[in-house]
A and B are shown apart, each in its own frame.
Chain A
Amino acid sequence: MAGVWVFAEAKDGKFRRVILEMLGEARKFADHLGEELWAVLVGSNVAELSSLLGEHGADKVLVMDNPNLAAYTTDVYAGVTLGLINTYQPTAVLFANSNMGRDLAPILAQKLDTGLITDLTGITYGPEILFKRPIYAGKALVELSFAANARPMLLTIRPKVFTPAEPQTGRQAEVITASADLNALTLRQVIKDVIRKASTRVDLTEADIVISGGRGMKNPENFKILEEVADILGAAVGASRAAVDEGWREPQYQVGQTGKVVSPQLYIAVGISGAIQHLAGMNSSKCIVAINKDPEAEIFKVADYGIVGDLFQVIPILKQELQQALASA
Chain B
Amino acid sequence: MDFLLNEEQEMMRKVVRDFALNEVEPGAAERDETEHFDRSLYAQMAEMGLTGIPWPEAYGGAGSDNLSYAITVEELSRVDASLGVTLSAHVSLGSYPIYGYGSEAQKQKFLRPLAEGTKMGAFGLTEPYAGSDAGGTRTTAVLNGNEWVINGNKIFITNGGEAEIYVVFAATDKSKGHKGISAFIIEKGTPGFSFGKKEKKLGIRSSTTYELVFEDCRIPAENLLGEVGQGFKIAMSTLDGGRVGIAAQALGIAQGAYDKALEYAQQRVQFGKSLAEMQAIQFKLADMATKIEAARLLTYQAAFRKDKGLPYGKFSAMAKLYASDTAMEVTTDAVQIFGGYGYTRDFPVERMMRDAKITQIYEGTNEIQRVVIAGNILKGK
A–B interface present (Cβ within 8 A): yes
Interface residues of A (CB under 8 A from B): 215, 242, 245-246, 293-294, 296, 298
Docked CA distance A298–B266 (Å): 12
- Known contacts A215-B26, A242-B26; can you find 9 more A-B pairs with CB under 8 A? A245-B22, A246-B26, A293-B346, A294-B346, A296-B264, A296-B267, A296-B268, A296-B341, A298-B267
The interface residues of chain B lying within 8 Å CB-to-CB of A294 are 346
Chain A nearest Cβ from B84, distance in angstroms? 22
Chain A nearest Cβ from B46, distance in angstroms? 21
Docked CA distance A294–B264 (Å): 12
Listed by A's residue number, 11 A-B pairs whose Cβ atoms lie within 8 Å are: A215-B26, A242-B26, A245-B22, A246-B26, A293-B346, A294-B346, A296-B264, A296-B267, A296-B268, A296-B341, A298-B267
Chain A nearest Cβ from B318, distance in angstroms? 37
Docked CA distance A121–B346 (Å): 40
Count of interface residues, chain B, beta-carbon cutoff 8 Å: 7
Chain A nearest Cβ from B337, distance in angstroms? 12
**Which A-chain residue is minimally distant from B268 (CB atoms)?**
A296
Docked CA distance A245–B25 (Å): 13
The interface residues of chain A lying within 8 Å CB-to-CB of B346 are 293-294
- List the 7 shortest-distance A-B pairs measured between CB atoms, nearest first: A296-B267, A296-B268, A245-B22, A294-B346, A215-B26, A296-B264, A242-B26
**Which A-chain residue is minimally distant from B27 (CB atoms)?**
A246
The interface residues of chain B lying within 8 Å CB-to-CB of A245 are 22
Chain A nearest Cβ from B80, distance in angstroms? 16
Interface residues of B (CB under 8 A from A): 22, 26, 264, 267-268, 341, 346
The interface residues of chain A lying within 8 Å CB-to-CB of B26 are 215, 242, 246
Docked CA distance A296–B341 (Å): 10
Docked CA distance A246–B341 (Å): 27
Docked CA distance A296–B267 (Å): 7
Chain A nearest Cβ from B163, distance in angstroms? 29
Chain B nearest Cβ from A319, distance in angstroms? 26
The interface residues of chain A lying within 8 Å CB-to-CB of B264 are 296
Docked CA distance A298–B263 (Å): 11
Chain B nearest Cβ from A313, distance in angstroms? 15
The interface residues of chain B lying within 8 Å CB-to-CB of A246 are 26
The interface residues of chain A lying within 8 Å CB-to-CB of B268 are 296
Chain B nearest Cβ from A144, distance in angstroms? 34
Q: Which one of A242, A245, A293, A296 has the highest number of Cβ atoms from chain B below 10 Å of its Cβ? A: A296
Docked CA distance A294–B29 (Å): 15
The interface residues of chain B lying within 8 Å CB-to-CB of A215 are 26
**Which B-chain residue is minimally distant from A246 (CB atoms)?**
B26
The interface residues of chain B lying within 8 Å CB-to-CB of A293 are 346
Chain B nearest Cβ from A81, distance in angstroms? 43
The interface residues of chain B lying within 8 Å CB-to-CB of A298 are 267
Chain B nearest Cβ from A295, distance in angstroms? 8
Chain A nearest Cβ from B335, distance in angstroms? 15
Chain A nearest Cβ from B269, distance in angstroms? 10
**Which B-chain residue is minimally distant from A245 (CB atoms)?**
B22
The interface residues of chain A lying within 8 Å CB-to-CB of B22 are 245
Chain A nearest Cβ from B41, distance in angstroms? 15
The interface residues of chain B lying within 8 Å CB-to-CB of A296 are 264, 267-268, 341
Chain A nearest Cβ from B25, distance in angstroms? 11
Docked CA distance A215–B22 (Å): 12
The interface residues of chain A lying within 8 Å CB-to-CB of B341 are 296
Docked CA distance A246–B268 (Å): 29
Chain B nearest Cβ from A299, distance in angstroms? 12
Chain B nearest Cβ from A217, distance in angstroms? 13
Docked CA distance A308–B205 (Å): 29
The interface residues of chain A lying within 8 Å CB-to-CB of B267 are 296, 298
Chain B nearest Cβ from A6, distance in angstroms? 43
Docked CA distance A293–B346 (Å): 9
Docked CA distance A242–B25 (Å): 12
Chain A nearest Cβ from B349, distance in angstroms? 12
Docked CA distance A195–B26 (Å): 34
**Which B-chain residue is minimally distant from A297 (CB atoms)?**
B267
Chain B nearest Cβ from A258, distance in angstroms? 13
Chain B nearest Cβ from A277, distance in angstroms? 12
Docked CA distance A185–B365 (Å): 80
Docked CA distance A179–B32 (Å): 69
**Which B-chain residue is minimally distant from A241 (CB atoms)?**
B22
The interface residues of chain B lying within 8 Å CB-to-CB of A242 are 26
Docked CA distance A298–B267 (Å): 8
**Which B-chain residue is minimally distant from A300 (CB atoms)?**
B267
**Which B-chain residue is minimally distant from A215 (CB atoms)?**
B26
Chain A nearest Cβ from B307, distance in angstroms? 35
**Which A-chain residue is minimally distant from B341 (CB atoms)?**
A296
Chain A nearest Cβ from B347, distance in angstroms? 8
Docked CA distance A302–B267 (Å): 13
**Which B-chain residue is minimally distant from A294 (CB atoms)?**
B346
**Which A-chain residue is minimally distant from B22 (CB atoms)?**
A245
Docked CA distance A47–B267 (Å): 58
Docked CA distance A293–B344 (Å): 13
